[in-house]
Protein backbone atom coordinates (compact mmCIF):
# COMPACT_ATOMS: atom_id res chain seq x y z
CA UNK A 1 0.00 0.00 0.00
CA UNK A 2 1.19 3.51 -0.83
CA UNK A 3 0.21 6.70 0.96
CA UNK A 4 0.61 9.95 -0.96
CA UNK A 5 0.84 13.00 1.28
CA UNK A 6 -0.43 16.47 0.56
CA UNK A 7 1.94 19.19 -0.58
CA UNK A 8 3.60 21.02 2.29
CA UNK A 9 3.20 18.24 4.86
CA UNK A 10 5.07 18.91 8.11
CA UNK A 11 7.61 16.56 9.66
CA UNK A 12 5.29 16.11 12.65
CA UNK A 13 2.43 15.03 10.39
CA UNK A 14 4.72 12.69 8.47
CA UNK A 15 5.96 11.08 11.68
CA UNK A 16 2.38 10.65 12.91
CA UNK A 17 1.34 8.85 9.71
CA UNK A 18 4.30 6.50 9.99
CA UNK A 19 3.58 5.82 13.66
CA UNK A 20 -0.04 4.92 12.88
CA UNK A 21 1.01 2.50 10.12
CA UNK A 22 3.84 0.92 12.10
CA UNK A 23 1.54 0.46 15.10
CA UNK A 24 -0.39 -1.96 12.89
CA UNK A 25 2.74 -4.10 12.39
CA UNK A 26 3.87 -2.84 8.97
CA UNK A 27 7.15 -1.19 7.97
CA UNK A 28 7.27 2.20 6.26
CA UNK A 29 9.65 3.58 3.65
CA UNK A 30 9.62 7.28 2.78
CA UNK A 31 10.34 8.66 -0.70
CA UNK A 32 10.52 12.45 -0.93
CA UNK A 33 9.71 14.04 -4.27
CA UNK A 34 9.83 17.64 -5.38
CA UNK A 35 6.17 18.26 -4.52
CA UNK A 36 4.91 15.13 -2.78
CA UNK A 37 6.16 12.59 -0.28
CA UNK A 38 5.23 8.93 -0.74
CA UNK A 39 5.07 6.48 2.16
CA UNK A 40 5.35 2.83 1.21
CA UNK A 41 3.71 0.40 3.62
CA UNK A 42 5.27 -3.07 3.56
CA UNK A 43 3.80 -6.05 5.36
CA UNK A 44 0.32 -7.47 5.88
CA UNK A 45 -1.70 -4.78 4.12
CA UNK A 46 -4.92 -6.42 5.27
CA UNK A 47 -4.33 -4.85 8.67
CA UNK A 48 -4.81 -1.40 7.12
CA UNK A 49 -8.00 -2.12 5.19
CA UNK A 50 -10.26 -0.86 7.97
CA UNK A 51 -8.04 1.99 9.10
CA UNK A 52 -9.34 5.40 7.90
CA UNK A 53 -5.96 6.48 6.55
CA UNK A 54 -7.33 9.41 4.52
CA UNK A 55 -8.63 10.97 7.74
CA UNK A 56 -5.10 11.29 9.13
CA UNK A 57 -3.79 14.86 8.80
CA UNK A 58 -1.40 15.16 5.87
CA UNK A 59 -2.74 12.19 3.85
CA UNK A 60 -3.97 13.03 0.36
CA UNK A 61 -4.59 9.61 -1.26
CA UNK A 62 -4.03 5.91 -0.59
CA UNK A 63 -3.27 3.33 -3.30
CA UNK A 64 -3.01 -0.43 -3.16
CA UNK A 65 -0.04 -2.03 -4.92
CA UNK A 66 -0.95 -5.44 -6.28
CA UNK A 67 2.48 -6.19 -7.75
CA UNK A 68 4.57 -8.75 -5.86
CA UNK A 69 7.46 -6.29 -5.73
CA UNK A 70 6.56 -3.31 -3.58
CA UNK A 71 9.69 -1.28 -2.91
CA UNK A 72 10.92 -1.63 -6.50
CA UNK A 73 7.53 -0.70 -8.02
CA UNK A 74 7.32 2.54 -9.98
CA UNK A 75 4.46 3.73 -7.78
CA UNK A 76 6.55 3.47 -4.62
CA UNK A 77 8.79 6.44 -5.37
CA UNK A 78 7.70 10.02 -5.90
CA UNK A 79 10.51 10.51 -8.43
CA UNK A 80 12.91 8.22 -10.30
CA UNK A 81 15.64 6.99 -7.96
CA UNK A 82 19.15 8.29 -8.46
CA UNK A 83 22.04 6.17 -7.25
CA UNK A 84 25.19 8.16 -6.56
CA UNK A 85 28.47 6.62 -7.72
CA UNK A 86 31.46 8.89 -7.34
CA UNK A 87 30.61 12.30 -8.80
CA UNK A 88 27.52 11.32 -10.78
CA UNK A 89 24.02 9.93 -10.26
CA UNK A 90 22.79 6.94 -12.24
CA UNK A 91 19.18 7.69 -13.08
CA UNK A 92 19.72 11.39 -13.71
CA UNK A 93 20.08 13.19 -17.03
CA UNK A 94 23.70 12.17 -17.57
CA UNK A 95 24.34 8.89 -19.36
CA UNK A 96 26.55 6.99 -16.92
CA UNK A 97 29.23 4.78 -18.48
CA UNK A 98 31.11 2.07 -16.58
CA UNK A 99 34.10 0.64 -18.43
CA UNK A 100 37.06 -1.65 -17.86
CA UNK A 101 38.33 -5.19 -18.29
CA UNK A 102 36.42 -8.34 -17.51
CA UNK A 103 39.19 -9.40 -15.13
CA UNK A 104 41.85 -7.54 -13.19
CA UNK A 105 45.10 -8.95 -14.58
CA UNK A 106 47.64 -6.54 -13.11
CA UNK A 107 48.15 -2.98 -11.94
CA UNK A 108 49.77 -1.60 -15.10
CA UNK A 109 47.05 -2.78 -17.49
CA UNK A 110 44.29 -1.64 -15.15
CA UNK A 111 45.83 1.79 -14.61
CA UNK A 112 46.28 2.27 -18.34
CA UNK A 113 42.68 1.24 -18.99
CA UNK A 114 41.28 3.44 -16.22
CA UNK A 115 43.17 6.49 -17.44
CA UNK A 116 42.00 6.07 -21.01
CA UNK A 117 38.34 5.25 -20.34
CA UNK A 118 38.16 8.07 -17.80
CA UNK A 119 39.60 10.50 -20.33
CA UNK A 120 36.98 9.37 -22.85
CA UNK A 121 34.10 10.08 -20.45
CA UNK A 122 33.52 6.90 -18.43
CA UNK A 123 32.46 7.61 -14.85
CA UNK A 124 33.38 4.33 -13.14
CA UNK A 125 35.87 1.50 -13.55
CA UNK A 126 34.78 -2.13 -13.77
CA UNK A 127 37.06 -5.09 -13.17
CA UNK A 128 36.60 -8.57 -11.77
CA UNK A 129 38.68 -9.76 -8.82
CA UNK A 130 36.51 -12.85 -8.25
CA UNK A 131 35.22 -14.34 -11.49
CA UNK A 132 32.38 -16.87 -11.94
CA UNK A 133 33.47 -19.25 -14.70
CA UNK A 134 31.57 -22.09 -16.29
CA UNK A 135 34.67 -24.32 -16.17
CA UNK A 136 36.46 -24.82 -12.84
CA UNK A 137 39.73 -24.88 -14.79
CA UNK A 138 39.37 -21.36 -16.21
CA UNK A 139 41.13 -18.39 -14.61
CA UNK A 140 38.91 -17.23 -11.77
CA UNK A 141 40.53 -13.95 -10.84
CA UNK A 142 43.24 -12.66 -8.51
CA UNK A 143 40.97 -12.51 -5.47
CA UNK A 144 41.93 -10.04 -2.77
CA UNK A 145 45.07 -9.05 -4.67
CA UNK A 146 42.77 -7.93 -7.50
CA UNK A 147 40.73 -5.88 -5.03
CA UNK A 148 43.89 -4.17 -3.78
CA UNK A 149 44.85 -3.31 -7.35
CA UNK A 150 41.40 -1.85 -8.00
CA UNK A 151 41.63 0.28 -4.85
CA UNK A 152 45.10 1.54 -5.78
CA UNK A 153 44.00 2.47 -9.30
CA UNK A 154 40.98 4.28 -7.85
CA UNK A 155 43.36 6.28 -5.65
CA UNK A 156 45.56 7.08 -8.65
CA UNK A 157 42.79 8.03 -11.08
CA UNK A 158 39.82 9.07 -8.94
CA UNK A 159 37.50 6.56 -10.67
CA UNK A 160 35.06 4.69 -8.41
CA UNK A 161 35.27 0.91 -8.64
CA UNK A 162 32.58 -1.63 -9.62
CA UNK A 163 33.41 -5.28 -8.95
CA UNK A 164 31.52 -8.52 -8.49
CA UNK A 165 30.81 -10.29 -5.21
CA UNK A 166 29.96 -13.97 -5.55
CA UNK A 167 29.48 -15.29 -2.04
CA UNK A 168 28.03 -14.11 1.28
CA UNK A 169 31.45 -14.75 2.83
CA UNK A 170 33.01 -12.20 0.46
CA UNK A 171 30.62 -9.31 1.03
CA UNK A 172 32.49 -7.51 3.81
CA UNK A 173 35.84 -8.03 2.08
CA UNK A 174 34.68 -6.74 -1.31
CA UNK A 175 32.80 -3.85 0.29
CA UNK A 176 35.99 -2.74 2.04
CA UNK A 177 37.55 -2.08 -1.40
CA UNK A 178 34.71 -1.42 -3.86
CA UNK A 179 32.35 1.51 -4.37
CA UNK A 180 29.67 -0.60 -6.08
CA UNK A 181 28.96 -4.28 -5.42
CA UNK A 182 27.98 -6.18 -8.55
CA UNK A 183 25.73 -9.23 -8.30
CA UNK A 184 26.17 -11.15 -11.53
CA UNK A 185 23.63 -12.94 -13.70
CA UNK A 186 24.44 -16.34 -12.22
CA UNK A 187 23.72 -15.03 -8.72
CA UNK A 188 20.61 -12.98 -9.47
CA UNK A 189 18.51 -15.42 -7.45
CA UNK A 190 21.10 -16.16 -4.77
CA UNK A 191 18.74 -14.84 -2.13
CA UNK A 192 21.20 -15.13 0.74
CA UNK A 193 23.70 -13.01 -1.19
CA UNK A 194 21.04 -10.47 -2.16
CA UNK A 195 19.99 -10.11 1.47
CA UNK A 196 23.59 -9.74 2.61
CA UNK A 197 24.44 -6.93 0.17
CA UNK A 198 21.11 -5.36 1.10
CA UNK A 199 22.27 -4.96 4.69
CA UNK A 200 24.95 -2.57 3.48
CA UNK A 201 24.19 0.91 2.13
CA UNK A 202 26.72 0.43 -0.65
CA UNK A 203 25.25 0.72 -4.19
CA UNK A 204 24.43 -2.65 -5.78
CA UNK A 205 24.60 -3.29 -9.52
CA UNK A 206 22.24 -6.20 -10.14
CA UNK A 207 22.44 -8.07 -13.45
CA UNK A 208 19.44 -9.86 -14.91
CA UNK A 209 19.72 -13.64 -14.88
CA UNK A 210 20.12 -15.30 -18.25
CA UNK A 211 16.79 -17.15 -17.95
CA UNK A 212 14.88 -14.77 -15.68
CA UNK A 213 11.72 -12.82 -16.37
CA UNK A 214 11.36 -9.11 -15.65
CA UNK A 215 9.24 -10.08 -12.64
CA UNK A 216 12.01 -12.35 -11.35
CA UNK A 217 14.50 -9.54 -11.88
CA UNK A 218 12.50 -6.99 -9.92
CA UNK A 219 11.83 -9.45 -7.10
CA UNK A 220 15.59 -9.97 -6.85
CA UNK A 221 15.97 -6.20 -6.48
CA UNK A 222 13.23 -6.33 -3.86
CA UNK A 223 15.37 -8.70 -1.77
CA UNK A 224 18.13 -6.09 -1.66
CA UNK A 225 15.77 -3.22 -0.94
CA UNK A 226 13.81 -5.09 1.72
CA UNK A 227 16.97 -5.14 3.84
CA UNK A 228 17.06 -1.35 3.84
CA UNK A 229 19.31 -0.66 0.84
CA UNK A 230 17.53 1.45 -1.82
CA UNK A 231 20.68 1.94 -3.92
CA UNK A 232 20.09 -0.62 -6.66
CA UNK A 233 21.09 -0.24 -10.32
CA UNK A 234 19.48 -2.76 -12.66
CA UNK A 235 21.61 -4.07 -15.53
CA UNK A 236 20.20 -5.73 -18.66
CA UNK A 237 22.82 -8.00 -20.26
CA UNK A 238 20.92 -10.28 -22.60
CA UNK A 239 19.07 -13.53 -21.97
CA UNK A 240 19.61 -17.08 -23.16
CA UNK A 241 17.49 -18.17 -26.13
CA UNK A 242 17.80 -20.69 -28.97
CA UNK A 243 19.85 -18.17 -30.99
CA UNK A 244 23.55 -19.01 -31.36
CA UNK A 245 24.74 -16.11 -33.54
CA UNK A 246 25.43 -14.03 -30.43
CA UNK A 247 26.49 -14.89 -26.89
CA UNK A 248 23.05 -13.88 -25.58
CA UNK A 249 19.94 -12.33 -27.07
CA UNK A 250 19.87 -8.64 -26.19
CA UNK A 251 16.45 -8.07 -24.60
CA UNK A 252 16.15 -4.47 -25.75
CA UNK A 253 12.44 -4.39 -24.94
CA UNK A 254 13.25 -5.00 -21.27
CA UNK A 255 14.65 -1.48 -20.95
CA UNK A 256 11.41 0.45 -21.60
CA UNK A 257 9.42 -2.20 -19.72
CA UNK A 258 11.63 -1.77 -16.66
CA UNK A 259 11.44 2.02 -16.95
CA UNK A 260 7.65 1.69 -16.72
CA UNK A 261 7.66 -0.87 -13.92
CA UNK A 262 10.29 0.52 -11.56
CA UNK A 263 11.76 3.77 -10.31
CA UNK A 264 15.27 2.23 -10.18
CA UNK A 265 17.93 3.22 -12.73
CA UNK A 266 18.39 0.78 -15.62
CA UNK A 267 21.65 0.32 -17.52
CA UNK A 268 22.69 -2.06 -20.31
CA UNK A 269 25.72 -4.29 -20.84
CA UNK A 270 26.05 -4.69 -24.62
CA UNK A 271 29.38 -6.53 -24.25
CA UNK A 272 27.82 -9.59 -22.64
CA UNK A 273 24.75 -9.38 -24.83
CA UNK A 274 26.79 -9.44 -28.02
CA UNK A 275 29.78 -11.58 -27.11
CA UNK A 276 31.42 -10.15 -30.25
CA UNK A 277 33.36 -6.90 -30.47
CA UNK A 278 31.79 -5.53 -33.71
CA UNK A 279 28.30 -5.73 -32.20
CA UNK A 280 29.00 -3.81 -28.99
CA UNK A 281 28.65 -0.31 -30.46
CA UNK A 282 25.34 -0.90 -32.33
CA UNK A 283 23.79 -2.47 -29.23
CA UNK A 284 25.03 0.41 -27.09
CA UNK A 285 23.36 2.92 -29.43
CA UNK A 286 20.12 0.91 -29.32
CA UNK A 287 20.16 0.73 -25.51
CA UNK A 288 20.52 4.50 -25.20
CA UNK A 289 17.71 5.04 -27.72
CA UNK A 290 15.51 2.66 -25.72
CA UNK A 291 15.95 4.75 -22.56
CA UNK A 292 18.86 3.18 -20.67
CA UNK A 293 20.34 5.35 -17.91
CA UNK A 294 23.84 4.08 -18.60
CA UNK A 295 26.11 1.47 -20.16
CA UNK A 296 28.63 -1.07 -18.92
CA UNK A 297 31.36 -1.76 -21.49
CA UNK A 298 34.24 -4.24 -21.39
CA UNK A 299 37.51 -2.58 -22.42
CA UNK A 300 41.02 -4.06 -22.51
CA UNK A 301 44.33 -2.58 -23.76
CA UNK A 302 45.05 -5.78 -25.71
CA UNK A 303 41.90 -7.91 -26.14
CA UNK A 304 43.83 -10.68 -27.90
CA UNK A 305 45.78 -11.30 -24.70
CA UNK A 306 42.87 -10.94 -22.24
CA UNK A 307 42.50 -13.77 -19.74
CA UNK A 308 38.71 -13.74 -20.25
CA UNK A 309 36.14 -12.27 -22.64
CA UNK A 310 38.69 -10.79 -25.03
CA UNK A 311 36.41 -11.49 -27.99
CA UNK A 312 33.83 -9.02 -26.66
CA UNK A 313 36.20 -6.41 -25.24
CA UNK A 314 36.86 -3.15 -27.06
CA UNK A 315 40.43 -1.91 -27.22
CA UNK A 316 41.22 1.61 -26.02
CA UNK A 317 40.89 3.27 -29.41
CA UNK A 318 37.61 1.49 -30.11
CA UNK A 319 36.24 2.73 -26.80
CA UNK A 320 37.26 6.30 -27.65
CA UNK A 321 35.40 5.96 -30.95
CA UNK A 322 32.32 4.51 -29.23
CA UNK A 323 32.12 7.37 -26.74
CA UNK A 324 32.40 9.96 -29.50
CA UNK A 325 29.70 8.22 -31.57
CA UNK A 326 27.39 7.92 -28.54
CA UNK A 327 27.00 11.67 -28.12
CA UNK A 328 24.29 12.25 -30.77
CA UNK A 329 22.35 9.22 -29.50
CA UNK A 330 22.56 10.51 -25.93
CA UNK A 331 21.46 13.97 -27.03
CA UNK A 332 18.49 12.57 -28.97
CA UNK A 333 17.44 10.63 -25.87
CA UNK A 334 17.65 13.75 -23.69
CA UNK A 335 20.89 12.61 -22.04
CA UNK A 336 24.25 14.26 -21.63
CA UNK A 337 27.76 12.86 -21.82
CA UNK A 338 30.63 14.80 -20.30
CA UNK A 339 33.32 16.09 -22.61
CA UNK A 340 36.55 14.19 -22.01
CA UNK A 341 38.16 17.07 -20.15
CA UNK A 342 35.04 17.49 -17.98
CA UNK A 343 35.07 13.80 -17.02
CA UNK A 344 38.70 13.91 -15.90
CA UNK A 345 38.24 17.17 -14.01
CA UNK A 346 35.15 15.98 -12.12
CA UNK A 347 36.82 12.74 -11.06
CA UNK A 348 39.82 14.59 -9.65
CA UNK A 349 37.72 16.93 -7.50
CATH number at residue 328: 3.20.20.70
In terms of Cα–Cα distance, which of 155, 163, 156 is closest to 104?
163
Residues 6+ apart with CB under 8 A from 155: none
pLDDT band at 340 (very low <50, low <70, confident <90, very high): confident
Q: Is the whole model's pTM more than 0.75, yes or no?
A: yes
Mean pLDDT of 13-32: 90
Q: Has residue 349 got a pLDDT over 60?
A: no
pLDDT band at 44 (very low <50, low <70, confident <90, very high): confident
* Residue 27 falls inside a structural domain: yes
Last residue of a domain, one of 64, 94, 112: 64
Residues 143-166 as b/e (b if ≥16 CB within 10 A, e otherwise) read: eeebbebbbebbeebbbbbbbbbb
Tens-place pLDDT, residues 122-141 = 999 999 998 776 677 666 67
Mean pLDDT of 221-239: 96
87 shares its domain with 44: no
pLDDT band at 209 (very low <50, low <70, confident <90, very high): very high
pLDDT confidence of residue 341: 56
- For all residues of the chain together, what is the average pLDDT? 91
* Residue 177 falls inside a structural domain: yes
Which CATH number is 58's domain given? Answer: 3.30.70.1140
Look at phi and psi of residue 173 and say left if phi exceeds 0, alpha if psi is from -120 to 50, else beta.
Answer: alpha
Q: Is the CB of residue 122 less than 8 Å from the CB of residue 140?
A: no
Residues 6+ apart with CB under 8 A from 179: 85, 86, 124, 154, 160, 161, 162, 202, 203
Mean pLDDT of 88-99: 96
pLDDT confidence of residue 66: 73
Q: Which residue has the higher pLDDT, 81 or 347?
A: 81
**DSSP E strands, the chain:** 2-5, 27-32, 37-42, 59-63, 83-85, 88-90, 96-100, 124-126, 161-164, 180-183, 204-207, 232-236, 266-268, 294-298
271 shares its domain with 323: yes
The full length of the chain comes to: 349
Residues 6+ apart with CB under 8 A from 76: 2, 29, 31, 38, 40, 65, 70, 263
What whole-number percentage of the chain has pLDDT above 70? 96
45 shares its domain with 112: no
98 shares its domain with 51: no
Q: Is the CB of residue 190 less than 8 Å from the CB of residue 217?
A: no
pLDDT confidence of residue 13: 92
* Count of the separate structural domains present in the chain: 2
6 shares its domain with 140: no
58 shares its domain with 180: no
Distances (CA, A) of 221 to 104, 188, 196, 303: 27, 9, 12, 33
Structural element, H or E, at residue 19: helix 11-22
* Residue 78 falls inside a structural domain: no
* Residue 153 falls inside a structural domain: yes
* Residue 239 falls inside a structural domain: yes
31 shares its domain with 173: no
Look at phi and psi of residue 238 and say left if phi exceeds 0, alpha if psi is from -120 to 50, else beta.
Answer: left
DSSP β-bridge partners for residue 63? 2
pLDDT confidence of residue 137: 61
Phi, psi of 227 (to 5 degrees): -90, 5
Q: Has residue 47 got a pLDDT over 90?
A: no
**What is d(CA 136, CA 309) in angstroms, rounded to the nearest whole number?**
16
104 shares its domain with 180: yes
* Residue 70 falls inside a structural domain: no
107 shares its domain with 180: yes
116 shares its domain with 44: no
Q: Domain limits at 197? A: 83-347
* Residue 76 falls inside a structural domain: no
Tens-place pLDDT, residues 145-190 = 999 999 999 999 999 999 999 999 999 999 999 999 999 999 999 9
Amino acid sequence: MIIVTREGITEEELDHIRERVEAMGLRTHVSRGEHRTVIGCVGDEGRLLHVPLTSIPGVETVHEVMKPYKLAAREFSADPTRVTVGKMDFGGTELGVIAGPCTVEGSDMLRETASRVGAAGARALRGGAFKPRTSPYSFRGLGEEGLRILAQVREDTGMPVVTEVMDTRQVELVASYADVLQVGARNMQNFALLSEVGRLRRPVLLKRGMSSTVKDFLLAAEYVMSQGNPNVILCVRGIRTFETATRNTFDLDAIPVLKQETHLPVIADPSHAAGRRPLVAPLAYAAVAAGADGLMIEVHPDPECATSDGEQSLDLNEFDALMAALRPFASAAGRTLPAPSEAVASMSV
